[in-house]
């Protein structure tokens, strides 16, 4: 298994280094955890489930956004997700109407 480093983890560590944060700071620990789970998930030996991997990413992303002030979801992504939800609802309505 390679020692993978995510872009988010690198960004979090660089900011922690720049701000001279201690080694046990939340940015560092969550970046390390996310990269560890990335390696475990990519190894595909059942050591990390998709749910655990996404939870690890979400915690790291939330910590990064809280510390940096970056928004968690930008407007473009929100609009796209709303359009996808609209498509899903339309599909469901069509399927429901087809069963009458």
pLDDT of residue 22: 96
Tokens of 43: 């190894």
Residues lower than pLDDT 50 in the chain: 1, 85-100
What distance in Å separates the CA atoms of residue 32 and residue 63, rounded to the nearest whole number?
13
Q: What is the pLDDT of residues 50-64, one digit of tens each?
A: 888 888 988 998 899
What distance in Å separates the CA atoms of residue 93 and residue 44, rounded to the nearest whole number?
37
pLDDT of residue 26: 95
What distance in Å separates the CA atoms of residue 78 and residue 28, rounded to the nearest whole number?
28
pLDDT of residue 53: 85
């Amino acid at each position: 298994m390679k020692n993978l480093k995510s872009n988010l983890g690198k960004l979090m560590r660089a900011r922690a280094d720049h701000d001279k944060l201690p080694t046990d700071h939340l940015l560092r620990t969550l970046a390390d955890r996310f990269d560890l789970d990335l390696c475990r998930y990519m190894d595909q030996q059942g050591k990390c489930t998709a749910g655990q991997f996404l939870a690890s990413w979400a915690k790291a992303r939330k910590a990064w956004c809280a510390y940096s002030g970056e928004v968690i979801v930008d407007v473009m992504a929100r609009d796209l997700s709303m359009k996808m939800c609209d498509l899903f609802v339309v599909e469901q309505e069509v399927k429901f109407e087809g069963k009458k």
